[in-house]
Structure formats: C-alpha cells, structure tokens
Amino acid sequence: MRIDLPTRGLHLDYQWHGPEQGPVLILVMGLGMQRVAWPPELIDGLVARGLRVLTFDNRDIGLSGSGHIAAHMGVRRAFLRYLLHRPIRPPYTLDDMAADTLALADALGIARFHVAGASMGGMIGQQLALLAPTRVLTLTSIMSSAGPRAAPFPEWRVLQRMLRAPPQHSSHEQRVDHYVALFTELGRHHEPAEIERLRRGLGAAMARAYRPDGTMRQLLAITADADRSQRLREMRTSTLIIHGGADPLVPVRAAHHLAAVIPGARMQIIDRMGHDLPAWAIPQLVDLMVEQMRSIPA
C-alpha cells in the first residue's frame, strides 16, 4: 500500500501483517533492501506471537518515493573524504530517514510502537529512539553500529565487492547472479539451500523494483553519518543488540561498542551468523525479539 507523507515530501510503500489489536512492531530494513527482504519466516513467527508487524520501503528504494535529494557528491569522492576524515555532503541523512519512519507512524495513527532494524535499519532505529523516546517502546538493533566512525572497518574484499555494481545494461539474471554472490559472502553462506533461498528472494525483489541509484544515495547517507556514541549514552529506550559473530561487513566489535554505550542494553551474539538473516537463525531471532518486546508493556 502507498501513503503520502506531505510533511516529508514523499510517499512510502508499506504493508501490515498480523492482528489489528496486537502490539505494533515497525521493521526497518537496511541499505538498498526493500520491505520484501524481511524473511517471511521471521514475519510469520512474530505474527504467530500476536504482534502487528509493519514493514515498509525506506525512501529512495523499492516502491517508495525519493523525497528531496540535495546536491551531493559521488560515492567514490565521498569514500575518499571518509578515509581522510573530511566532511561528506549526502543527498539526505539517516536523521531524515528516521523522521520518515516517525511520519509514517503518525499517518497510520500509531502512538507507541516497538522498532527493530537491520544494518542501516538499526542505525535508523537508534536515531528514531533518540528522536521520539516517549513513543519507541523498545529497540532491537540487528547487525548494526553507532555509525561508521564507531565501527571497525569492514573486510576489504567484502567492501570492494559491495562498491561494484552490475554493468548498467546487464540482464535481470546477471543482476541476480551478482547480488547472490555478494550476499553469499556477506552472509557467510555455505549451504546450497540457503544460497537458493537467497536467489529466490533477490530475484523477486529485483523484479519488483531495481533502483541502484537509490542504493548509492543511501550509502552516502550512511557514510556521512556521525558517530552517535555520545548521544546513545543518554538513550533510555530498552535495547537489544543482535549481531552475527561472523559478520564481515560490520564486525562484531561494533556490537560490543553499542552495548557499552547504550545504558542497560542487552546483547546476543549468534556465532555462525554473518551479515544476513539466515533461515536457521530465524527461530532464535523471533524468540529474542519477542522476549525483548514483552519486557516493556505497550
């Protein structure tokens, strides 16, 4: 479904899952990923526990609008300036994306809600908890960090692969092959069934929408993001940090740092998990997320 957000100058595509009277959980996806990237098994598991789950496409991706795109630099120049510790001019910020999420909640009449975010979505979730502390009941931050300046550098080979896009005129199958190879490495996948699951999910998502320019603009927003460590020390939202022990993109030390700066945060490291949500981890993820949300009544 589509909803216009005049205060944000864009529309967002969203979908409800689960019982109308259940506690609301807003899921915020990561870099370049659409709402359909949330594993159906995860959503089904959360709904089975009585939650009302809201998924949506972030701005500039999937079927959502792009909003105002400010004058900005290219990714290569931004990456060089990042290495040189120089300011980066993004098209929009993660604060903007957190404000988008809050505007979506307003438009749908959601007064208070739980938030779970994956990767960039975890960063947006942290910003959202800082922006609206009386409305965000709990936060589950998955495979995320307090900002790129607060996280260890990714594995170089993985970063190089991430920054390489498929050729401009590649076919749908070539694009799927490219991203299956990338996510196989990001997720540290070895099982043929898991790789085939990746292929089905990525193929369906890219048939729905393919917006590499939006992904690059989201990447600029991440790269320009400031270290939130000091702000997070003042956060009072009940927070659970979930991270893969084998994550090559956001190394696990980022989770330990988050746990150290967010007061009272709990942390769960899932040893074999990389930077992905594999099928074998879904039951544990559902249990952890539901336990976190039930710690604070709606």
State how far the Cα of 296 lies from the Cα of 114, in Å rounded to an integer: 9
Q: Which of 22-36, 70-84, 97-111, 225-239 has the lowest mean pLDDT?
A: 70-84
Tell me the pTM.
Answer: 0.96
State how far the Cα of 228 lies from the Cα of 180, in Å rounded to an integer: 32
- pLDDT over 70, % of the chain: 99
CA 249-253-257 angle, 5° bins: 120
- Please give the pLDDT value at position 112: 97
Q: What is the mean pLDDT of the chain?
A: 95
- Please give the pLDDT value at position 298: 57
Q: Are 225 and 250 in contact (CB under 8 A)?
A: no
Higher pLDDT, 131 or 168: 131
- Please give the pLDDT value at position 126: 98
State how far the Cα of 88 lies from the Cα of 81, in Å rounded to an integer: 7
Q: Residue 203 has which token pair?
A: 């193929």
Picking from 151, 139, 148, the residue whose alpha carbon sits closest to that of residue 265 is: 139
How many residues are there in the chain?
298
- Please give the pLDDT value at position 30: 98
Rounded to the nearest 10°, the torsion over CA 162, 32, 37, 288 is 80
Average the pLDDT over 115-130 and give the result: 98
- Please give the pLDDT value at position 297: 63
State how far the Cα of 129 lies from the Cα of 132, in Å rounded to an integer: 5
Other residues' Cβ atoms within 10 Å of the Cβ of residue 156: 9
Q: Which amino acid is at 230?
A: Q
Domain extent listing, the chain = 2-153+212-294
Average the pLDDT over 179-207 and give the result: 96
Fold of 2-153+212-294: Rossmann fold (3.40.50)
- Please give the pLDDT value at position 165: 84
Taking the alpha carbons at both ends of the chain, their separation in whole angstroms is 25
How confident is the model over 248-263, as pLDDT tens digits? Answer: 999 999 999 999 999 9
In degrees and rounded to multiples of 5, residue 114 shows phi and psi of: -95, 155
Q: Is the pLDDT of residue 296 over 80?
A: no
Q: Name the 3-class secondary structure at 212.
A: helix
State how far the Cα of 58 lies from the Cα of 66, in Å rounded to an integer: 9
